[in-house]
Structure 1
Amino acid sequence: MASTSLELTTLGHRIRHQRVAAGMTLDELGEKVGVAGSQLSLIENGKREPKLSLLQAIAATTGIEVAELLSAEPPNRRAALEIDLARLQAGTVFRRLGIPPVKVTKGTSDETLESIIGLHRELERRERETIATPEEARRANTELRLRMREKGNYLADIEKLAERQLKAAGHSSGALTHRTVSIMAQQLGFELLYVSDLPHSARSVTDIENGRIYLPPASIPGGHGLRSMALQAMAHRLLGHERPVDYADFLEQRLEINYYAACCLMPETASLAFLQQAKRDRNLAVEDFRDAFGVTHEAAAMRLTNLLTQHFEIPLHFLRVDGSGAINRVYENDDLPVPMDVTGSVEGQIVCRRFLARSAFEEHNRTTEHYQYTDTPSGTFWCSTQTGTTDAGEFSITVGVPFDDARWFRGRETTKRSSSHCPDQSCCRRPPADVAARWSGKAWPSARVHMHMFSPLPSGDFPGVDDTEVYSFLERHAEG
């Protein structure tokens, strides 16, 4: 049967329970089924796996079906406590402590077991909190980014899943409507509900028991984000996600649900048909791709990172940069020299002033894409940048390619050109020598302190989510 140790422990408890219920000792049951009592003891303690023929004999002797012995459910509360403790003591968190496990005897009370189990669970909870340090988060994020770079930022299984779900909902072309998203939810057994009292820490809440997905009010301007949020919530179910085991798992799940939503909003088949025609016309443009599928500029730009290399063999880079020049989000497989710290982390680093991703903030016309060629130590790159504004401030979205691939894009004829020598400090990090000499020792700026520097990294099963707030919300709506 090749059972796991936990399954063997459960099986052993069920055999012991049936033996005791039948009023037999180990030796008495052993004599009836043809094995020594000592062998039965090993089986009851989960240390030996019995043959099917022996299980059949035990079941027949104790008057039950074999299926009842093989049930995954503990036979009683005491057995459940012992099994739970065995699982916790076999876990990595406890074994790292290097201390011997507690041996449970008949004299060990249920209250004692509950207390020990409670300590184990608190230990695991604290482990989950400490794992999500800023250093751990940066490491996990960097590893995920590099892993996706190796895959060309392309996940074939999720692409196929999205196409199947869209087809089942009757979607064939054009922008994905809210109605179709609702149909997709219904086919999974969920109803989309738009409420004004969502927990502040959650973008959406899924009530698995009652088949509801709660989203912000439908009155949000444009509503583009609502479709994406609903699709992301569905993706957790479709992709079989369990509670994240660590921060790296949380980040990977977030990436996968975002990817699924993008595949639904900009389906691979329809997107390729659109992009192939644009490439033939030498007129690839993020803004056209955006408008064709009714999505945001950032969503369209990021979707290109999934498709251009995989289907057109065009390497590229994507940057989202805030008004201070800090990189919020990045993808590159074209060797663009992006700034990074000693760990290889890019997010939060300040991009070169010569890059259009930063200089575009100085443009007067923010409603159109701007184009530029940039000479760098890694070669010349062409890029397209558009800026925007949110409550958090300004940001820019950039998509760029190596010089030779610019021929496929609108804006390739631009005469705007810049030169970047970063990471050489003389490029843009140091002021000109004469200016530095003029003002050195004569200026005292008051630095702006970013409060997030002092904030703990969100922790818990779902980092950043207030469980109390979420459960209160569900209770409130379950009663309604």
Structure 2
Amino acid sequence: MDADTADIATIGHRIRHFRTRTGLTLEQVSDGVGLSQSQLSMIENGKREPKLTVLQSIASAIGVDLATLLVAEPPDERTAYELELGRAQASPLYTALGLPVVRPTKGTPTPTLAALVGLHRELARQASKAIATPEEARRANTELREWMRARDNYLPDIEDLAEEHVKASGHVSGALTHREVSVMAKHLGFELVYVNDLPKSTRSITDLENGRIYLPPASIPGGHGLRSMALQALAHRVLGHERPESYAEFLRQRMQINYFAACCLMPRSAAVSFLQEAKKDRDLAVEDFRDAFGVTHETASLRLTNLITVHLGMRMHFLRVGEDGALYKGYENDGLPLPTDVTGAIEGQLVCKKWSARDAFTQTNRTTELYQYTDTPAGTYWCATQTGRGDDGGFTVTIGVPFADAKWFRGRETTARAVSTCPDPTCCRSADASLETEWADRAWPSARLHAHILSPLPTGAFPGVDDAELYSFLAEHSGPLGE
């Protein structure tokens, strides 16, 4: 049979349809074709694949030609519902629910079948909606980025909550300590527990029943990371989050807990005071801001985007770019023309090769910040770029401001200057004409894809988390601590 012919179930239903339409019984047809009634019944129920010669005999017995039996479409509306219901109940989506299979009988009303099929269609639609497809993820990311940009990346309600909880922990100045984070947790009814067997799909787990927040071992390098993880877990409770009902809501919650953690690690009052003093001295620098609060360069850069517009009266941009030139995080309210796709998403887009965010990879000395002025179609910008390395390879973190505000920053004296005309392809993306002529038809490269951008995230209320591992972990650790 070819692609246009019916499947076994459809053929079986078509045989039954034409047999009953002519008033023939199973016994009459089976006797006429040399089959037992049970064999013919199995064929009609789609449980046995008949040979072509048998199909020819059945077609003759019920008074139709073979081609009629092999049509891929159900013979009537009721049959279509029965077939669709059968396929839906055999799908992994339905079998995973552990519910019984409904087997239609002659007495099952057609409207009942239509209702059941409608429910299965909606179940499939909701499951499809729950998957964070690349399109869904990029759309949600874009909407959230635009929402934050409209607010200058500043959320005063979360700022206020963070100040309140940090003050209650006894923190006065400098870097927020692990003990102070533990005090914050205790005030919220939780104990921080460090374990070696967290499921690989999780960064932390909050046991709401026993009032515990499980974190990786306290001995791992980078205390900032552990403080941040604990604060993010606490933020869900402080902000009153419920289980997210969509990927967009999940994404917004993640943004909010990251924001809360940053506000705690770099409290607004102390951070703004530090920045205002540095501005007064015309010596704003991310590295000083970072060291004053004991956080990473990227955290300090992102925190600067929260505070600089509302409290220092400046607009700026932030970029995190991979060694492949792809933009992985980005924010701007200063008009910098970030690369986007047709949907407005920036994730995975290549930034201009002339920008310091990419030029920094070509520098021999990567231990110090690279300062650069860049002329763009939107104006001239001053930028400071720091390189780093993570589990996924090298990256750069860049902050920048329009030319007029460069006077407040350390590194403004740089003579490094570049001209970028992106998104004009002749800026850095068009190949040399002579080389293209020579090689265009003689090359066939295999592209390195941004798999995390192209792949859908797993389903579930918390995308990416293995529920089986999560619940097994909680069951194992639910007893009294120390046992």
Assess same fold via TM > 0.5.
yes
CA distance in 2, matches of 1:472, 1:379: 56
CA distance in 2, matches of 1:450, 1:136: 16
Aligned to 1:127: 126
AA partner of residue 300 (structure 2): A
CA deviation profile, 1:15-52 (whole Å, cap 9, x unmatched)? xxxxxxxxxxxxxxxxxxxxxxxxxxxxxxxxxxxxxx
Superposition deviation, residue 318 in structure 1: 0.2
Q: Which runs of 5+ in 1 are unaligned?
A: 1-115
CA distance in 1, matches of 2:374, 2:227: 36
CA, structure 1 residues 357+453, in 2 after alignment: closer, same or farther (shift >3 Å)?
closer
Superposition deviation, residue 254 in structure 1: 0.4
CA deviation profile, 1:136-167 (whole Å, cap 9, x unmatched)? 11111111100100101000011010111011
CA deviation profile, 1:82-110 (whole Å, cap 9, x unmatched)? xxxxxxxxxxxxxxxxxxxxxxxxxxxxx
CA deviation profile, 1:270-299 (whole Å, cap 9, x unmatched)? 001110110011000011100000000000
CA distance in 2, matches of 1:368, 1:264: 27
CA, structure 1 residues 258+206, in 2 after alignment: closer, same or farther (shift >3 Å)?
same
Aligned to 1:467: 467
Q: Count residues in correspondence.
A: 364
Counting only pairs closer than 5 Å after superposition, residues 191-270 of structure 1 correspond to structure 2 as 191-270=191-270
CA deviation profile, 1:415-438 (whole Å, cap 9, x unmatched)? 000010110110111122233334
- 8 Å CA contact retained: 2:348, 2:453: no
CA distance in 1, matches of 2:120, 2:235: 29
Aligned to 1:65: none
Aligned to 1:407: 407
AA partner of residue 292 (structure 1): A
Superposition deviation, residue 133 in structure 1: 2.0
- 8 Å CA contact retained: 1:316, 1:400: yes
- 8 Å CA contact retained: 1:298, 1:397: yes
AA partner of residue 365 (structure 1): N
CA distance in 1, matches of 2:218, 2:295: 16
Aligned to 1:165: 165
1:341 aligns with 2:341: yes
CA distance in 2, matches of 1:217, 1:472: 19
CA, structure 1 residues 336+222, in 2 after alignment: closer, same or farther (shift >3 Å)?
same
CA distance in 2, matches of 1:258, 1:339: 25
What TM-score does the superposition give when structure 2 sets the normalisation length?
A: 0.73
CA distance in 1, matches of 2:125, 2:173: 49
Aligned CA-pair RMSD: 1.9
CA distance in 2, matches of 1:372, 1:451: 32
Q: Which runs of 5+ in 2 are unaligned?
A: 1-114
AA partner of residue 381 (structure 2): F
CA distance in 1, matches of 2:468, 2:121: 17
Structure 1: 4+ residue segments shifted above 6 A: 119-122
What TM-score does the superposition give when structure 1 sets the normalisation length?
A: 0.73
Aligned to 2:290: 290
CA distance in 1, matches of 2:353, 2:389: 19
Q: What SS does the corresponding residue of 1:275 show, helix, strand or coil?
A: helix
Q: What SS does the corresponding residue of 1:243 show, helix, strand or coil?
A: coil
CA distance in 2, matches of 1:120, 1:230: 41
AA partner of residue 178 (structure 1): H
1:300 aligns with 2:306: no
1:357 aligns with 2:357: yes
AA partner of residue 278 (structure 2): A
Aligned to 1:272: 272
CA distance in 2, matches of 1:125, 1:232: 33
Superposition deviation, residue 135 in structure 1: 1.1
CA deviation profile, 1:280-334 (whole Å, cap 9, x unmatched)? 1100001110000000000000000100001111000000011101111011000
CA distance in 1, matches of 2:375, 2:450: 33
Q: What SS does the corresponding residue of 1:478 show, helix, strand or coil?
A: coil
Aligned to 1:441: 441
